[in-house]
């Protein structure tokens, strides 16, 4: 199976779950934007809590508690990115931010419906719903047609193009620009969708970059 084919579920270092017909919250960051020690610490704490829950929590409540753990883990992860004092901050360069914004908008209506994005100095938040790809085949279920473009394919294309062009702008040669793996989350309902949209738009406010999200030049919301 090609790594960019549509799959409902797969796992690399992070689990990736892509049910058809859902909107997704995706975060991708610059390579080297977080020290490996920070990532390891976050991962270790998350696994510790999950193992504790497996021993003590009733199965009926485990799913909701796992969701809460994932939500809190992401908040901690994103807060580390916002506070990062070392590592590259190329997406804070207006030339690079403009490139990324244009590339995200270019794919709107082609491979996804774009709902919102925010380009931060070392990472990007994206909210979108993959569109149906009639040429796609679900290798797990044998279904053909009416399946969405895979997030893996969408993000590979977006990151490959923006990395190539950004490195040209920055005068870098053949160096890794983006961290290979993304964080992605299937949005469960309209309540969660509204909360995530507010989070994305207000990330620059939370990070202390502006006092109102409307003042951040590199945010977008579909009206």
Phi and psi at residue 24, to the nearest 5°:
-130, 145
Q: Which residues of 58-88 are buried (b: 16+ CB within 10 A; e: fewer)?
A: eeeeeeeeeeeeeeebbeebbebbbebeebb
Question: pTM for this one?
Answer: 0.87
C-beta atoms surrounding 14 within 10 Å: 10
pLDDT in tens, 142-153: 555 578 999 999
pLDDT in tens, 93-133: 999 999 999 999 999 999 999 999 999 999 999 999 999 98
Between the CA of residue 19 and those of 121, 133, 142, what are the distances in Å?
A: 30, 14, 15
The token pair that represents 88 in the structure block: 């590259």
Question: Does residue 42 carry a pLDDT above 60?
Answer: yes
Q: Where are the alpha helices (DSSP H) in the chain?
A: 36-56, 59-83, 94-106, 151-170, 190-206
């Amino acid at each position: 199976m090609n790594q960019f084919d549509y799959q409902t579920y797969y796992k690399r270092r992070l689990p990736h779950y892509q049910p058809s017909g859902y909107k997704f919250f995706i975060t991708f960051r610059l390579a080297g934007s977080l020290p490996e020690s920070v990532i390891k610490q976050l991962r270790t704490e998350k696994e510790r809590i999950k193992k504790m829950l497996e021993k003590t929590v009733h199965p009926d409540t485990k799913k909701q508690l796992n969701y809460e753990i994932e939500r809190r883990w992401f908040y901690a992860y994103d807060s580390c990115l916002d506070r990062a004092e070392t590592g590259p901050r190329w997406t804070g360069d207006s030339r690079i931010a403009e490139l990324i914004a244009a590339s995200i908008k270019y794919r709107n209506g082609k491979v996804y419906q774009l709902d919102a994005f925010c380009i931060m100095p070392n990472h990007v938040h994206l909210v979108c719903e993959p569109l149906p790809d009639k040429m796609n085949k679900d290798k797990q279920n044998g279904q053909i047609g009416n399946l969405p473009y895979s997030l893996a394919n969408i993000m590979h294309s977006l990151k490959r193009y923006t990395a190539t062009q950004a490195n040209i702008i920055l005068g870098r040669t053949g160096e890794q620009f983006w961290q290979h793996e993304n964080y992605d989350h299937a949005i469960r309902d309209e309540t969660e969708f509204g909360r995530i949209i507010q989070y994305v738009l207000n990330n620059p406010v939370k990070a202390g970059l502006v006092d109102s999200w409307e003042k951040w030049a590199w945010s977008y919301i579909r009206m």
